[in-house]
Each structure stands twice: as C-alpha cells, then as structure tokens.
Structure 1
Amino acid sequence: MPEPAVIAHRGFAGIAPENTIEAARIASEHPSTGMIEIDVQPAACGTPVVIHDDRLEGTRDGRPLTDSEGLVWEQTLEALSNARVLETDETVPTLEAFLEAVGPGVGVNVELKNPGNPSIRPAESLSPSARAERRAIWEPFVERVVEVCDGFDGEVLFSSFCAGALAATRNVAPEYSIGTLVADDLETGLEVAREYDSEAIHPPRNAIAGTALSTEPYAGVSEPPTVDLLEVARDEGRTINVWTVDTWIQFDQLRSVGVDGIIVDYPGLNSR
C-alpha cells in the first residue's frame, strides 16, 4: 500500500508560527513533507495574504494570533506586514512571499478561506442561481490567487469548504486540481465534490470508517460516519486527504486503511 503524502498543516503549526515565512521554511526543510497546507484571503487592496482567521485578534492556546486587531480584508498590506504572529517576529505574509519561501519539490495546498466577504456559505450544495452568485463573489479573489500561483514551480492544489470558491476556481483555472473540504455532512460534501468533479476530498480524521478515530468526537462531529467515504472516493476516482492529525498513532490508523494524504501539525508522525 502506498505511503500517504505528509501535508504540513499551516506549515507544521505544532512547531512553527502558522502560515508564516518561518513555517514555510521549516516545513520545506523536513524530508517527509510532500505539501504545505495554507489559508488565503485578501488584504484591503485584494492582494492574497496567508492567514487562517478572518480577524487578527484570534488566539491559539491562550496566545494572541497577532498583536493587531480587525478584519483581515480591511487591513492594508503595511498593517499586515507589521502584525506579529503568535508573539514572534514573524508577520502575516503575502501569498507571493510565502510561495517564494517554499523549497524545491514541495507542493502547496491553498485553502481558499474567504474572498473578503462575511457571507461565504461553507459546506452547502448550491442551487444553480446561488452557485452563479457565489461564483461571482469569489472570482475576483480567485483570479488574484491563481495569478500568483501560476508563478510557483511546485504542485498546487486548491481547496475550500465553499462551493462558490470551487466553482470560481473551475471557471478561472480549470487546469488546477481542487479539493472539497468536508466537515460533519459527508453526503453534502460528496454532492459538492461531484458537482465540481473535485479531484480530492478533504474530510476530518474521524470521518474515515474502519479506524478507532471514527468513534471519537472531533471538529464538531460526535457521531460515527454513515458513509464509507474512502470506498466511495475510490469508486469515483478521487483522492482522500484527511485533516488534522496530531499523533503517530492517529497517522498509523489512517495509513493502515489507505488514505492518500494526511494533514499534520507535527513532522515525523509517519516515521513509525
């Protein structure tokens, strides 16, 4: 059975300040890293920047996400370049700067987080009229993201919880692979993946039947999966990249059932 790809969550967020240039460097230098997963949204000028939360004043384990405040998409690039991440000297980078810091041979999973709009309707299968509306909201930002990624030498996989983002990516850049991010509603996730013919599906770690993880509450999901997502994906020719694993035991369980990629916070979980 092939080894699953190691995908560094926000650049190994367990050992580096997430979504920063330092995280790009650390993840790139680890020999196990196949891809780096990052989150993008626009600054006030529309330039794609790499950050997960839509506000700068979030927290991580009690530590402030940044020393600034406000919605990301209302901030100038100068303000973001001065926003210190997790009490380090790292700041919020542009997507272009982040990709320049990624080492050779390492791909990037770009999660389209937000186009600069508070109404993004994640984890929904959209009607044709709603799909057109959502696609139009996302397309200007997706165009900016694709323009940057076109200059990157490595593999790029776009993913999102939002059907509008996937629709925009298919329309703007059909040459790129896309991944449907799934949370608690697996059936809806599969419906969205089929609608846009997503090459990949990205479910939470407890959504994979046949492992002990499937009975553990995670990411707001407390019930075992009602569909064998891995079997369905195999039948439909889609890859499964699972998020987010913290221990080698979790990694080993998912490896044993044959998932394609595992998004992890720490390097070295695949070494056992």
Structure 2
Amino acid sequence: MARPAVIAHRGYAGIAPENTVAAATRAAQREETAMIEIDVQPAACGTPVVVHDERLEGTRDGRPLTDATGVVWEAPLEELRETRVLGTEATVPTLAELLAAIPETVGINVELKNPGRADLRVGDALPPEVRAERREVWQPFVERVVADCDAFGGELLFSSFCEGAIAALRSVGDYAAAPLLSDDVAAGLEIARRYDCEAIHPPRSAIAGTDAVEASGNGGSDENRDVLEAAHDEGRTVNVWTATNWVQFDELAAAGVDGIIADYPGLSRA
C-alpha cells in the first residue's frame, strides 16, 4: 500500500517559525515533503501575506506569535514585512516572496484564510440566497492570490473553511480546490460536491478507525464514518489535518487517506 503524501503544515510548524520563508524552504529540502501548506490573508493594501491568525498578538505555547499587535488586514505591508515571527529573525512574508523561494518540485497548498473582514461564514454550506454575496466578499482577494500564484510553476491546491472562498476560486479559473471540513462533515462534503472539488481536507476526528474519532464521539455519525469512502467513491483526494506524532500518522495511513498534513517531518518513516 502506498504511503500518504506528506504535507508540511505551515512549513512544519513543530520545528520552525510557521508560515515563514525559512520554514518553507527548510520543508522543501526534505525528500518526504510533497507539499507545503500555508495560510494567506491581505495586508491593509490588499497584498496577500502569509500568516495564520487574524491578530498579530496571538500565542503559540505561550510564546507571542509576532512582535506586533493588531489585525493583519489593517496593518501596512511595510510593517508586516518587518514583523518578526515567534521570537526569531524570520518575518511575515508576502505570498509572492514565499513562492519565489520554493522549488517547483514541491507543491503548495494555499489556505484562503481570510479576505480581510471579520464576518466570515466558516464551515457552513451556504443557502442559495447568500452564495453570490459570499463569493463577492472573497473575489477581490482570491484574484490577488491567484495572480501571485500564477508565477509558481509547481502543483497548486487551494483550500478554505469558507464556501465563499471556494466559490470565488471557481469563478476565477480552473484551479484545484478543497473544502476544509470541521465539525460539520456533511456540510464539507456538500460543498465539495457543489463545486466538484478535487480534494477534501477533513480533521483526524472524522476518519474512522483512529483514536481521534473515538475521543471526539464522531464514531456515532454515519457521515463521519463514511467520509473517506464517500470522497474516494466520488474521485476526491482526502488530505487529513493535523498529525503531530508518528502514531497518528500510522493510523491515518492504515485508514487509507491520500495525504497527511503534519506538524513535524519524519512521521512517515517511523
């Protein structure tokens, strides 16, 4: 049986300052890395920058995410590019800068995190009457992201927790897309079907046969038990988030997932 593809979560956030050029270039140097997952949001001017949290003063294990404060999309680009990440010399990069540093032999999973506003519809399968409005919310930012990504010659996969982002991507061009699934797995599958997405990205707790499913109580849901089979029956790749140790990786590999988004390198070789 083929081992799942390894997707470096924020550039292997367990060993490097997440979503930075330094993390991404180190991840790309590892033979096991098939793809690097990154998060994008706009700076105040609309330029896509690579950062996960909406606010710059978040924390990771008690350490400040950056040495700045405030909302990402309200921050001037010049200030963001000088903002240091997790107490290191690495700074918040633009999407274009990060892509320029990555060899095209490694794929990039671009998570469309936020278009620059707080009123997101996260994890919802939207009713018909609001789909066009939500697509328009995301469209300008998605167009900026795609324009930056078009210069990258490697494999690209766009993902998001927001249906509006997937809808905007489909209106911009023919790019591989994946809804990120959270608590409502059925909603994620509905979005994947509505936009004929190439992949889905469920959490570990949605994959039957793993400890995560039992701990979450999701084992009682028919939809959760069948998410892997349903996606494969429909021809979709299943990339699961997030493995933090080799036991989790092995469980997911045994379940038959196609890719595993991992915080650490080396989990696939245990």
TM-score band, normalised by the shorter chain? over 0.9
Question: In the alignment, which residue of structure 2 is the partner of 1:32?
Answer: 32
In structure 2, the residue corresponding to 1:253 is in which secondary structure? helix
Aligned-partner Cα distance in 2 for 1:253–1:191: 26
* SS state at 1:138 partner: helix
Map of 1:237 onto structure 2: 235
- Does residue 191 (structure 1) correspond to residue 186 (structure 2)? The answer is no
Determine helix, strand or coil for the equivalent of 1:134.
helix
> Is residue 244–residue 264 contact of structure 1 (8 Å, CA) maintained in 2?
yes
CA apart distance, 1:117:
1.0
Runs of 4+ more than 3 Å apart: none
CA distance in 1, matches of 2:141, 2:99: 17
Aligned to 1:64: 64
The one-letter amino acid of 2:47's match is T
Show structure 2 runs of 5+ residues with no match. none
Corresponding residue for 2:268?
270
2:89: which partner in 1?
89
Tell whether the 8 Å contact from 2:104 to 2:155 is kept in structure 1 after alignment.
Answer: no
Deviates more, 1:4-13 or 1:228-237: 228-237
Structure 1 residue 198: Cα displacement: 1.1
Cα distance in 1 for residues equivalent to 2:194 and 2:122: 15
Q: Secondary structure, in 3 states, of the residue corresponding to 2:269?
A: coil
Q: Contact conserved, 1:207 with 1:225, CA < 8 A, in 2?
A: no
Q: What aligned pairs does 1:152-231 form with structure 2 within 5 A after superposition?
A: 152-173=152-173, 175-217=174-216, 222-224=217-219, 226=221, 227=223, 228-231=226-229
2:137 maps to which residue? 137
In 2, Cα distance between equivalents of 1:53 and 1:224: 30
Question: Counterpart amino acid of 1:28?
Answer: A
Shift of residue 225 of structure 1?
5.6
Equivalent pair of 2:35/2:108 in contact (CA under 8 Å)? yes
Structure 1 residue runs without a partner (length 5+): none
Question: Is 1:205–1:243's contact at 8 Å kept on the other side of the alignment?
Answer: yes
> Per-residue CA shift, 1:123-147, capped at 9, x if unaligned?
1111222110000010000000000
Partner of 2:254: 256
Q: How many Å separate the matches in 2 of 1:129 and 1:91?
A: 41
How far apart in 2 are the matches of 1:262 and 1:225? 23
**Is contact 1:214-1:225 (8 Å) kept?**
no
Calculate the TM-score normalised by the size of structure 1. Answer: 0.96
Q: CA deviation at 1:213?
A: 2.8
Query: Displacement of 1:234 after TM fit?
Result: 1.1
- Aligned-pair CA distance for 1:179: 0.3
Q: Between Structure 1 and Structure 2, how many residues are aligned?
A: 267
Partner SS, residue 117 of structure 1: coil
Q: TM-score, normalised by structure 2?
A: 0.97
Question: What residue is the counterpart of 2:100 in the other structure?
Answer: 100
SS at structure 1 position matched to 2:121: coil
Amino acid at match of 2:193: R
Q: In 1, Cα distance between the equivalents of 2:78 and 2:68? A: 12
TM superposition shift of 1:169: 0.1
User: CA separation in 1, counterparts of 2:130 and 2:205?
Assistant: 30
Cα distance in 2, alignment partners of residues 87 and 137 from structure 1: 34
Task: Give the aligned residue type for 1:191.
Answer: E
Deviation at 1:42, TM superposition (A): 0.3
Q: Distance between the aligned counterparts of 1:183 and 1:20, measured in 2?
A: 25
1:70-111 deviation per Cα after TM superposition (whole angstroms, max 9, x unaligned)? 110011111101111000011110000011111241000000
What is the CA-CA distance between 1:223 and the residue it aligns to? 3.4
Residue equivalent to 1:76? 76
- Please state how far the C-alpha of 1:244 moved relative to its aligned partner: 0.3
d(CA) in 1 for partners of 2:125 and 2:211? Answer: 29
Deviates more, 1:121-130 or 1:151-160: 121-130
